[in-house]
């Protein structure tokens, strides 16, 4: 039988991550003051929610609204494992720039976009998310909740704040070798972090975090091509360690830094 285990990090900017596995009973009836958005990795977990027994099987996503009572137990003999994001409703309102919270009526669904987002949020778990990465996860998660809501928000319209996002982009390029704080970009651009994220994606097709990681990876790739050891290239370009660099490098370029080094030499 699966051993019971929980790992979690501390809440930051309205977001907390949790990874767990259970072989049988998991939780008694309880409720959160946050959204709980997760992914069942394998097995099946069952829970009572809004008067009905629900079951999330491997690969399915879960979305529980704040202040809704639920419990949890294994739905199959082998148990289950899952990942969960707990998101402060205030962060959702700020990201969506709306006073109304989205309500997702179906708590269990096949949602590849949400599964991909959970994978991104947990890529380096339990290592802390960088500030811009955290903002990106919150913004994407809020957008996904709005898209799945029983009353989807209307698409935002209006001109792109080109001068603001260009200032942010130039700052990210100049500070590519370190982790930039959200507050720094707010000061540089004059926009709050979620407005900046929306305008930045509209102008450049990506988030500020992905843009900066791309610049750091480009510099790391050049250093590696010049013969700099992988651990030194990681440290010089703002990655926590060589494995951190390897994960991002492989995701961006489709091959490991070690293979890249061998090929260019």
Report helix, strand or coil for 241. coil
pLDDT digits 0-9 by tens, 92-110: 988 888 878 899 999 999 9
User: d(Cα 80, Cα 224) in Å, to the nearest integer?
Assistant: 41
Q: Is this prediction's pTM over 0.85?
A: no
Helix/strand/coil percent split, the chain, to 5: 45, 20, 35
**In the structure, what pLDDT confidence band is assigned to residue 28 with cuts at 50, 70 and 90?**
very high
Domains of the chain listed by start with CATH number: 5-148 (2.60.120.280), 158-265 (1.10.10.60)
Report pLDDT for 13: 86
Q: Which of 171, 167, 190, 191 is nearest to 179 (CA)?
A: 171
Mean pLDDT of 49-54: 95
Please calculate the CA angle 133-239-194 and round it to the nearest 5 degrees: 15
What the block records as the tokens of 180 is: 């930039």
pLDDT digits 0-9 by tens, 8-17: 998 888 899 9
Half-sphere exposure (CA, 13 Å, Cβ side) for 36? 22
Q: Is residue 203 within 8 Å of 159, Cβ to Cβ?
A: no
Asked whether the predicted pLDDT for residue 168 surpasses 80, the reply is yes
Q: Is residue 88 within 8 Å of 14, Cβ to Cβ?
A: yes
Asked whether the predicted pLDDT for residue 2 surpasses 70, the reply is no
Report pLDDT for 98: 80
Task: For the chain, give the mean pLDDT.
Answer: 89
Mean pLDDT of 220-240: 90
Mean pLDDT of 35-49: 96
Half-sphere exposure (CA, 13 Å, Cβ side) for 107? 20
**In the structure, what pLDDT confidence band is assigned to residue 203 with cuts at 50, 70 and 90?**
confident
């Amino acid at each position: 039988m699966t051993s019971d285990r929980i790992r979690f990090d501390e809440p930051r900017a309205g977001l907390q991550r949790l990874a767990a596995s259970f072989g049988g009973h998991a939780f008694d009836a309880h409720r959160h003051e946050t959204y709980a958005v997760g992914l069942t990795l394998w097995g099946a977990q069952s829970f009572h929610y809004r008067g009905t027994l629900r079951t999330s099987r491997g690969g399915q996503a879960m979305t529980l609204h704040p202040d809704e009572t639920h419990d949890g137990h294994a739905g199959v003999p082998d148990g289950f494992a899952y990942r969960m994001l707990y998101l402060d409703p205030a962060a959702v309102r700020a990201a969506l720039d709306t006073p109304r919270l989205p309500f997702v009526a179906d708590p269990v669904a096949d949602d590849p976009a949400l599964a991909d987002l959970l994978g991104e949020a947990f890529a380096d778990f339990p290592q802390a998310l960088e500030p811009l990465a955290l903002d990106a996860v919150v913004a994407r998660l809020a957008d996904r909740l709005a898209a799945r809501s029983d009353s989807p928000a209307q698409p935002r319209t209006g001109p792109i704040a080109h001068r603001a996002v260009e200032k942010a982009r130039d700052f990210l390029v100049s500070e590519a070798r370190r982790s930039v704080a959200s507050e720094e970009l707010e000061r540089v651009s004059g926009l709050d972090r979620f407005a900046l994220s929306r305008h930045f994606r509209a102008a450049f097709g990506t988030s500020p975090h992905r843009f900066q990681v791309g610049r750091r990876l480009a510099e790391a790739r050049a250093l590696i091509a010049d013969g700099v050891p992988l651990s030194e290239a990681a440290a010089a370009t703002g990655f926590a360690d060589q494995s951190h660099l390897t994960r991002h490098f492989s995701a961006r370029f489709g091959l490991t830094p070690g293979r890249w080094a061998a090929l260019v030499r």
